[in-house]
Amino acid sequence: MDFRTTFRPLTVQPEQIEQKSFQIIDDEIGEHSFAEQQYAIVQRVIHASADFELGKSLLFHPRAIEAGISAIRAGKKVVADVQMVQVGINKARLEKYGGSVHVYISDDDVMKEAKRLNTTRAIVAMRKAVKEADGGIFAIGNAPTALLELIRLVKEGEARPGLIIGLPVGFVSAAESKEELAKLDIPFITNIGRKGGSTVTVAALNALSILAERG
């Protein structure tokens, strides 16, 4: 492949773009009451969504960041609800600590069981995940049903996640599932309202692994 015919010098590098973006966010965010490490996550969520309202709607359990950093440094598994979340996560940083990212929603046994039970694959995937990723980080950006099932499993003592990042998006059950999550006294990062999604869930997780790396 010869790219030279169309070559033109370009000065803007990805690192410069990111730094400039963060500066704009700092300049425009206005008042907030996030702690320093929380703000590092808020900032990256805004960077990924260009949505200050969404970033400022984030809620952190008091132990969320400490627990997330510990789980990453201990090489605990990260569970993504959907493949879009899985592929967006920076694996190199997790792998340094022995960590890895898993998604169960398209597993053969999950699809088969969801059909048999006439329920969603997202729900069945969570039942599998809590068995395979004890103490791990659950990053849910798409399916409210996955988050609701995870909350149920926590309440019934069948799941002990290290951290839940619960940021599903949508009009049916998304806001409600996040309200339920915010009632739990276990480490969570979530937000108020309908907004969320795979890209902001990825942003939150990646921000956390940067914090873990910085020490």
**Residues 184, 187, 192, 196: is their CA dihedral positive or negative?**
negative
Which CA distances in Å does 109 have to 81, 94, 115, 116, 127? Answer: 16, 27, 10, 10, 12
Minimum separation from the CB atom of position 67 to a copy of itself (A) = 24
**C-beta closer to a copy of itself: residue 166 or 196:** 196
Minimum separation from the CB atom of position 194 to a copy of itself (A) = 4
Minimum separation from the CB atom of position 62 to a copy of itself (A) = 27
**C-beta closer to a copy of itself: residue 70 or 120:** 120
Interface residues with a copy of itself (CB under 8 A) are 1, 3, 6-7, 9-10, 12-14, 17, 20-21, 24-25, 47-51, 83-84, 86-88, 109, 113, 117-120, 123-124, 127-128, 131, 145, 153, 156, 158, 169-174, 193-199, 202
Q: Report the catalytic residues.
A: 47
110/113 Cα distance (integer angstroms): 5
Minimum separation from the CB atom of position 160 to a copy of itself (A) = 15
**C-beta closer to a copy of itself: residue 32 or 115:** 115
Structure tokens at 6: 């169309």
**C-beta closer to a copy of itself: residue 38 or 198:** 198
Minimum separation from the CB atom of position 80 to a copy of itself (A) = 11
**C-beta closer to a copy of itself: residue 38 or 86:** 86
